[in-house]
Copies of this chain bind each other. A is one copy, B any other.
Amino acid sequence: MSSRDPVFGWWDAPPFIGELIQSLSGRGRALFGLSSPPVQNRDLTGLAEMILSRRGEVSGAILAEAFLEAYRQASAPERDAFMRALLDRFGPDRTVLDAAAAAYNTEPSAENIARLHEAAEPRRQELFRRINFAKRGTATLVEMREHLMDMLAKEPALQPVDLDFCHLFSSWFNRGFLMLRSIDWTTPANILEALIRYEAVHDIDGWDDLRRRLAPADRRCFGFFHPQLEDEPLIFVEVALTDHLPASVDALLARDRQPLEVQQATTAVFYSISNCQRGLAGISLGNFLIKQVVNDLKRDLPRLENFVTLSPIPGFGAWLRGESRVTDSAEIAREKQRLLAQLEGDWASAGERELDQIQRAMLPLGAHYLLNVRRGNGRPVDPVARFHLGNGAQAERLNFLGDRSPKGMRQSYGLMINYRYRLGEIEKNHEAYAENGHIAATPALRKLAQPVSQEVF
């Protein structure tokens, strides 16, 4: 690659692109424009139009800052209105699009396809890109999508706008741009604070609890960060190093436990994964994170042999109580009733014999729920199961009373599960799952699910 070529210079954009992707203004303008009054507009739609205008070409950054300021101060109804305007007024230029569609219909050449693709791009995409010129642009765009997501339930017609956010974010938050960082007790407090706020699986009860998860030698935590959101993890995973396949998160998080010497560890347990940015829902992060962390742990601690989760089964309780939309066979329904009858009051404090009975009733139903209860598209009803199985993991073992926290008892009557990421079988498992919904599971688990008659789905 050489730029010494006498005819080549930074000004030599191929002309057709030069026109296309015109030069936009930089931040510096703040200074230049001292004479002109700063933009005080609070009309979001008007500002958005200005950003896309010729003025936006040279003063993009300053207008973007003005827009962000206005958005910050806008009321909820004003934001609602702006979201609707994004749909109504910032779609593609219909005249151009019609012409491009016509040209394509006449002659579907590569050039006409390119023109059609370009013409079909909603103007809001360029708007989003220009809003990103401002300092906290990316963060604000993520927040804007959060606002939109809250509206979607009632106004599904806004989905095309959401699609544009997704399209943009899946390009900007491409795996190649994410930075994996180790998080520990030497991490800046403002980032640790985010962990406390965003932990979604097993609540972190203040700084002392957080310290117990980060500081001991047998604990690890990793997060993905994005260059534009430096102080905000996108997603993080908490890992415990152990010498066995753990059955209970209460034991993992016990206050008085003795840390394991790292050299003794054979197993890395992913016991909590939490997303931090609701506005990035649907953007693939978790599977990349797990695989990267497995990779890095194996490199640094070659003695590690097992990479497992200790996961919640968030849908089990609702299904057991018959709250889910899935139809069970009569036999299953009976067994659910029988088990439910036992799960009254403070059952978890019952005697050993009684607990043993409950366990013998619960495990087969749990295995059945995970392996057999599917959605219309053949995927498991349980969302965490969908995630790990879709990543190529294998369902390994059910753990009775693995999570005695109020949340764990409510969600799944304390039942937990280990998924295992087994070297060399990920791709095969994923293939089988994607092809025909086949779930990788241990023979023991499969057998557990058998006594209960197979659901039709």
By a CB distance below 8 angstroms, the chain B residues around A278 are 1-3, 8
- The answer to the question of A408 belonging to the interface, with a C-beta cut-off of 8 Å to chain B, is no
- The answer to the question of A276 belonging to the interface, with a C-beta cut-off of 8 Å to chain B, is yes
By a CB distance below 8 angstroms, the chain B residues around A363 are none
Report the separation of the CA atoms of residues A114 and B187 in the bound assembly, to the nearest whole angstrom. Answer: 42
Closest beta carbon of chain B to A108's beta carbon, Å: 7
Flag if A175 contacts B61 (CB, 8 Å).
yes
Copies of this chain, whole number: 4
- The answer to the question of A121 belonging to the interface, with a C-beta cut-off of 8 Å to chain B, is yes
Residue pairs across A and B with Cβ atoms less than 8 A apart, 18 shown, are A8-B278, A9-B384, A12-B383, A20-B282, A23-B391, A24-B175, A26-B287, A27-B295, A35-B423, A35-B424, A54-B431, A57-B434, A101-B116, A113-B120, A116-B116, A120-B120, A185-B189, A189-B207
Flag if A10 contacts B200 (CB, 8 Å).
yes
Flag if B427 contacts A36 (CB, 8 Å).
yes
- The answer to the question of A390 belonging to the interface, with a C-beta cut-off of 8 Å to chain B, is yes
Flag if A427 contacts B87 (CB, 8 Å).
no
By a CB distance below 8 angstroms, the chain B residues around A206 are 207
Of A71-79, A128-136, A243-251, which binds chain B?
A: A128-136
- The answer to the question of A368 belonging to the interface, with a C-beta cut-off of 8 Å to chain B, is no
* Closest B residue, CB atoms, query A206: B207
Report the separation of the CA atoms of residues A344 and B334 in the bound assembly, to the nearest whole angstrom. Answer: 74
Flag if B426 contacts A11 (CB, 8 Å).
no
Q: Which of B12, B26, B92 contacts A175 (CB 8 A)?
A: B26
6 tightest A-B contacts by CB? A28-B291, A26-B291, A10-B275, A28-B295, A13-B282, A35-B424
Flag if A190 contacts B186 (CB, 8 Å).
yes
By a CB distance below 8 angstroms, the chain B residues around A189 are 185-189, 192, 207, 211
Give chain A interface residues in 207-261, CB to chain B under 8 Å: 207, 211, 227-228, 231, 235
Flag if A114 contacts B160 (CB, 8 Å).
yes
Of A165-173, A324-332, A437-445, which binds chain B?
A: A165-173
Q: Which of B25, B26, B187 contacts A289 (CB 8 A)?
A: B26
Give chain A interface residues in 156-204, CB to chain B under 8 Å: 157, 159-160, 162-164, 166, 168, 170-172, 174-177, 179, 185-190, 192-193, 198, 200
Closest beta carbon of chain B to A398's beta carbon, Å: 19
By a CB distance below 8 angstroms, the chain B residues around A80 are none
Give chain A interface residues in 341-400, CB to chain B under 8 Å: 383-384, 386-387, 390-392
Q: Which of B152, B166, B198 contacts A20 (CB 8 A)?
A: B166
Report the separation of the CA atoms of residues A21 and B121 in the bound assembly, to the nearest whole angstrom. Answer: 18
Report the separation of the CA atoms of residues A29 and B427 in the bound assembly, to the nearest whole angstrom. Answer: 9
Task: Report which A residues bind B (CB closer than 8 A).
Answer: 1-4, 6, 8-14, 16-18, 20-36, 54-55, 57-61, 87, 91-92, 94, 97-98, 101, 104-105, 108, 110-111, 113-114, 116-118, 120-122, 129, 132-134, 137-138, 143, 146, 149, 152, 157, 159-160, 162-164, 166, 168, 170-172, 174-177, 179, 185-190, 192-193, 198, 200, 206-207, 211, 227-228, 231, 235, 273-279, 281-296, 298-299, 314, 383-384, 386-387, 390-392, 407, 421, 423-427, 430-431, 434-435
Q: Which of B171, B288, B387 contacts A11 (CB 8 A)?
A: B387
Report the separation of the CA atoms of residues A58 and B298 in the bound assembly, to the nearest whole angstrom. Answer: 19
Flag if B431 contacts A174 (CB, 8 Å).
no
Flag if A132 contacts B287 (CB, 8 Å).
no
